[in-house]
Structure 1
């Protein structure tokens, strides 16, 4: 039974974070290389702006804002699941190589696929999922021991090794590619929000609509998996079955996000930790808060990065890494 005061506390943070996302979105919509002043936002939003204002808002700013929030949510939820099933606070889809696996698959698809441009957008999450799934499978196999089960520390070390190896493989793949395609993959590696258009939102949204409720439904199982293995077995949980199902969900969330945003790490590491510090370790409580924190973090990073250096700005992945890398070192030293 969850105490009422804790549930009330969670709801307060959900409201605060929702307001924070909305406020940051308004600021993000009103600043940038193309002029669209804050006093023109509401008139333009309701169809009373000039052609240029409507183009800037609806074709450039708004889709980018929505995609960063959704991708941040997906990465945060993926990180929360991975930390739960591995019992390792350092688990993150970017750090342990899942994002890199998706990146290699996307690179190969982009360079060699004969798919028509109209289908390209909707195929990306599927291709990324296949690449990320294969990577997760090998990481899981190499981190598993029949006697003691999944080894959390080994998983992070194997994952970091995979991440570095796959990043090197991507460089080898693009070394002989055309210049235009190399530019695209280089932007992907840096975590540049390249899929900032409405079709990319439609490609990402179904994964979140399905997997957020699914994860909340599995919250109790995640709580149990966070306990020691004998306790989890004692209460009747099929550990390996639940881990594999939840790992598939985490991989799908990370792959769908990075397929449109590029290689962004640390969101899945930071958001769950901050959420746990705010509302406690129960997944029913911290997962919704973590999702909102992830959405806000990526939106905030992209807003800052986009406006620091004009017109191209700094990729969101670089901005997140500037915050996340020191945080990762802090957790590594503390653990």
Structure 2
């Protein structure tokens, strides 16, 4: 039974986050290389703006903002799932090799397979998922013990090792490719939001529409998996089966996000931590908050990156890493 005061606190927090997202969206619409006056944003959205303002808002800014929000939400949810099923606060799809697996698959697909422009956008999340799931299977195999099953701490360590190996493989791929295609992979590695058109929104949206409700449906199972192994088995759930299902969901969410945003880490680490600090460790309470925090963090990072300096645009992945890396080191020493 969840206390009424906790539920009320969750709802108030959700409302505050929604307001903050609305403020961040408004700020992001007006900021950038081609500035739009803030008093012209609402009239332009209603159809009373100039051609230039309409083009900037609807063709450039708005799809990028929506993609950034959706990707941040997907990464936050993926990190929340991983932290629960591994019972480790350091779990994040960018840290344990899932994002790198997706990146290697995208790089190979982009470099060596013929690409049709019309299908490229919608094929990319599938390619990223296949690469990420292949990397996850390898991580799972190397983490598995016949006597003890999956040890969460071992899985994290193996994942970090695979992340380093896969990042090295991407560098090898870059060094053996022509310059025109290297630019794309370099952009992806830096975590630059490169998929900024409406088709990328439609390619990413279905993954979240399906997987967010399914994860919330599984929130009670996540709570049980977050307990120790004997307790989880004692309440009558198939631990390995549930862990594999939820791991696949986490991989799908992370892969779909990084397929359009590049190799962004730490969103899945920071968002669940902040959410748990606010409303506690129950998944049904903190996951909705973590989702909104993830979207807000990535949107703010992208807005800062493309508005901080007038002549260059810093990738959102670098901005997030400046915050996330020190926090990861802090958690490492704390745990």
Length-normalised TM-score, structure 2: 0.99
Q: Which position in structure 2 is the counterpart of 1:232?
A: 232
| Secondary structure of 1:237's aligned partner | coil
Q: Are 2:162 and 1:162 equivalent residues in the alignment? A: yes
Identify unmatched segments of 5+ residues in structure 1.
Answer: none
* Residues in 2 aligned to 1:77 and 1:146: alpha-carbon distance in whole angstroms: 30
Counterpart of 1:284? Answer: 284
Q: Does 1:261 align with 2:261?
A: yes
Listed one character per residue, the Cα deviations across residues 142-192 of structure 1 (whole Å, up to 9, x for unaligned) are 112222222222212111111111111111112122212100100000000
Asked if 1:331 is matched to 2:327, the reply is no
- Unaligned ranges ≥5, structure 2: none
In structure 2, distance between residues paired with 1:17 and 1:90: 24
Deviations along 1:96-148, whole A, 9 cap, x unmatched? 01000000000011111213110000000000000000001111111122222
Aligned to 1:13: 13
Residues of 2 paired with 1:150 and 1:241: CA distance?
12
1:114 maps to what in 2?
A: 114
Alpha-carbon distance between aligned partners in 2 of 1:277 and 1:137, rounded to the nearest angstrom: 32
Residue equivalent to 2:221? 221
Equivalents in 2 of 1:156, 1:310: separation in Å?
A: 40
| Structure 2 residue aligned with 1:212 | 212
Instruction: Give deviations 1:197-242, integer Å, cap 9, x for gaps.
Output: 1100100000000000000000000000011111111110100000
Q: Please give the alpha-carbon distance, in whole angstroms, between the structure 2 residues aligned to 1:27 and 1:286.
A: 26
CA distance in 2 between counterparts of 1:107 and 1:309 reads 29
Match of 1:103 in 2: 103
Q: Aligned residues, how many?
A: 335
Look up the match of 1:275: 275
Cα distance, 1:312 vs structure 2: 3.5
1:310 CA drift (Å): 2.6
Distance 2:203 2:328 in 1: 31
Secondary structure at the residue paired with 2:332? helix
TM-superposed CA distance for 1:44, in Å, is 0.9
Aligned pairs (5 A) from 1:72-111:
72-111=72-111
Q: Deviations over 1:25-73 (max 9, x none)?
A: 1001011110211011011111111111111101111111111100000
Counterpart Cα distance in 2 of 1:178 and 1:62 = 33
The CA deviation at 1:288 is 0.3
Distance 2:154 2:294 in 1: 26
Inter-partner Cα distance in structure 1 for 2:35 and 2:232: 57
Aligned ranges for residues 240-259 of structure 1 at < 5 Å? Answer: 240-259=240-259
CA distance in 2, matches of 1:307, 1:147: 54
2: distance between equivalents of 1:261 and 1:73?
Answer: 12
User: How far off is 1:262 after superposition?
Assistant: 0.1
Matched residues in 2 for 1:9 and 1:191: separation?
A: 34
| Greater alpha carbon shift after TM alignment, 141-150 vs 64-73 | 141-150
SS at match of 2:305: helix
1:180, 1:114 → 2: CA distance?
15
